[in-house]
Amino acid sequence: MLLALALAGQVDSIRAANHPDLRAIEALVAAVTGFLVLFALLYLGLAQTDSANFTQPLGRVSALYFTVTVLATVGFGDITAQTDGARLLVTVQMLLGLGLVAGLVRVFSAAARAGAARAHWRTISAKNAWKTGSPKRARALESTEWSGVASSKS
């Protein structure tokens, strides 16, 4: 539920941004970073609970390193899951990681396209308002937080 609310907030933020493409990239980086930190903390906790869970003891850096190698599907083999619980957690990360990257790219790029279309519509509307002699409406359209248009008239 919390994840769905965060995702909805990110989508709204992208759609309303001055530069929706850049905002989508920021949101993607933030989501992937959160995913990596979450699993690194899970692996760290698992390793500290029982040292037999992995081939070597994990500290913060090695837990993050392991998380990144699993997400990137590199799997160097220097750290491996040894118990069923650890293997299950790694499997969950692999499956969620694939879905996370694919799904987030799709959702955030769609939101960026929608935001860009909205900004384009507002730019055209503002230009038409200037042409038809409605400077008050043109200024209102140009001054909205997410329009991203600069006035060509003073």
Give the dihedral sign, CA 1/30/99/19.
positive
Q: The pTM is what?
A: 0.66
pLDDT at 151: 39
Rounded CA-CA distance 139/130 in Å is 9
pLDDT at 122: 73
Whether 100 is covered by a domain: the verdict is yes
Whether 52 is covered by a domain: the verdict is yes
Burial of 9 (0-12, 13-18, 19+ CB in 10 A): exposed
Number of domains in the chain: 1
Whether 153 is covered by a domain: the verdict is no
Whether 147 is covered by a domain: the verdict is no
**Domain with 36 in it: what CATH number?**
1.10.287.70
Whether 134 is covered by a domain: the verdict is no
Whether 22 is covered by a domain: the verdict is yes
Q: Which helix (H) or strand (E) holds 103?
A: helix 84-131
- What is the residue range of 72's domain? 11-114
pLDDT at 4: 80
Whether 139 is covered by a domain: the verdict is no
pLDDT per residue as tens, the chain (154 positions)? 777 888 888 888 888 888 887 888 888 888 889 899 999 999 999 999 999 999 999 999 999 999 999 988 888 889 999 999 999 999 999 998 888 878 877 877 787 778 778 777 777 777 777 778 777 776 776 665 444 444 344 3
Q: In this structure, how many other beta carbons lie within 10 angstroms of the beta carbon of residue 38?
A: 13
Whether 130 is covered by a domain: the verdict is no
pLDDT at 152: 40
